[in-house]
A = this chain, B = another copy of it.
């Protein structure tokens, strides 16, 4: 690039996918990244910038001359440019607006106005429309004229004068239609749709459930205001999955990517549950303190304490994870609880018995047969209790309309810890102090 050998670079870039070029651009130095982008045609630049990380987008956008940025934003897909616009400083926003057409300004302001977690914030307004009275040939011609601008032409939306959604039609059905038919005859009159103020997760679920290419978005007046494409729905879904992973380890919501999050953001997302669980574990400590006499008389009991309480927690974390994920994918429904509970009891008993056998051998070696018996019996009960807590908690959360994912590993482990301590020493006191 420095050598001025631009045509070689240009040839190289022509053979590459934009998603890969984005990777190269991010690794270039400040200045070079902009120079490399400028070697591409405007339309590719507009697509490329959408593949960059938000922080890289911002960096490049703020270094671009105002006119160039306006041209780029005009070529960008409507949802991507709204996302970029939202990130710009108030100053930069004000600078860019006059360089855009009135229609673009309004579109930008409208898309940028939806709250962060809503369908409106992830939809795009560059969809293809048809009229109900068009013939298949006319419809194809209409889609051809919109193909450069529209995010997808594989699903088209049929609207009346005031943009009320009349129906949806796939391009495949237009291809297969007979010449005399009209769009209005073959369109789906009861299409799946979503409201602009619904949660974005809702759109992702509908797209996945009905295998849609794009989902129409209506406002409160039943007017079509945008579409959510399958790949944007996929991105939303990925965000939700990440949130579920984080919840599973008591990590609160993080707005930015983990890689770009600041220390303060990550601290805030983590501290709340950590401190809360400290207080939860006071009960375990109090449990131990209550049995100080038993412990003082049989200090060898302490050897098995970490092992027993960890086993209950681990079995519980397994059960919770299985149920949280199965509930999230729809594999299991809240109404399946009864059927699954019986199965879980049997599995947990089998697990507990196996582990009791493993641990009683160590028990005999470390503390003699009496201790071995205490440890083995405790193990069965603790694993059973842990597994049942882990299995029931997600269903209870679902029942009280909380996210089952909040039944996280650490929460289950903490509850299993308390129960484990009490079970172990109660049994020990009963069997050893007689």
Contact = CB atoms under 8 A, between A and B. Distances in A.
Interface string A26-63: 00000000000000000000000000000000000000
A351 B278 contact: no
A300 B289 contact: yes
A288 B310 contact: no
A336 interface: yes
A282 interface: yes
Given A271-B351, A295-B299, A410-B314, A326 B15 contact: no
A357 to B, nearest CB: 10
Point out which of A175, A190, A273, A326 has the most chain B C-beta atoms below 10 A from its C-beta: A175
B281 A249 contact: no
Interface string A342-356: 010011001100110
B296 A299 contact: yes
A329 B240 CA distance: 12
B306 A288 contact: yes
A176 B192 contact: no
A333 to B, nearest CB: 9
A313 B273 CA distance: 13
Contacts of A154: 154, 171-172, 213
B317 A410 contact: yes
A171 B244 CA distance: 37
Contact of A317 (B288, B358, B409, B421): B409
A70 interface: no
Chain A interface: which size bin? 35 or more
Contact of A263 (B230, B307, B343): B343
Interface stretch (A99-107, A116-124, A142-150, A396-404): A142-150
Given A172-B147, A311-B277, A321-B249, A292 B302 contact: yes
Interface stretch (A79-87, A90-98, A219-227, A251-259): A251-259
Contacts of A413: 310, 313-314, 413
B300 A270 contact: no
Interface in A255-283: 257-259, 263, 266-267, 270-271, 273-275, 277-279, 281-282
B147 A270 contact: no
Interface in A307-331: 307, 309-311, 313-315, 317-318, 320-326, 329, 331
A245 B317 CA distance: 11
27 contacts: A144-B175, A153-B172, A153-B175, A208-B231, A245-B324, A246-B321, A248-B409, A250-B318, A258-B323, A258-B326, A274-B354, A275-B355, A277-B314, A278-B307, A281-B311, A284-B306, A285-B304, A285-B306, A285-B307, A285-B366, A288-B306, A289-B300, A295-B299, A296-B299, A306-B309, A310-B417, A317-B410
Given A19-B211, A258-B323, A267-B351, 16 more contacts: A19-B210, A143-B175, A171-B171, A238-B329, A249-B314, A249-B317, A259-B326, A274-B311, A274-B383, A275-B354, A277-B310, A278-B310, A285-B304, A285-B307, A306-B417, A310-B413
Interface of A: 15, 17, 19, 140, 143-144, 147-148, 153-154, 171-172, 175-176, 190, 192, 208-211, 213, 230-231, 234, 238, 241-242, 244-246, 248-251, 257-259, 263, 266-267, 270-271, 273-275, 277-279, 281-282, 284-286, 288-289, 292, 295-296, 299-300, 302-307, 309-311, 313-315, 317-318, 320-326, 329, 331-332, 336, 340, 343, 346-347, 350-351, 354-355, 358-359, 362, 366, 383, 409-410, 413-414, 417, 421
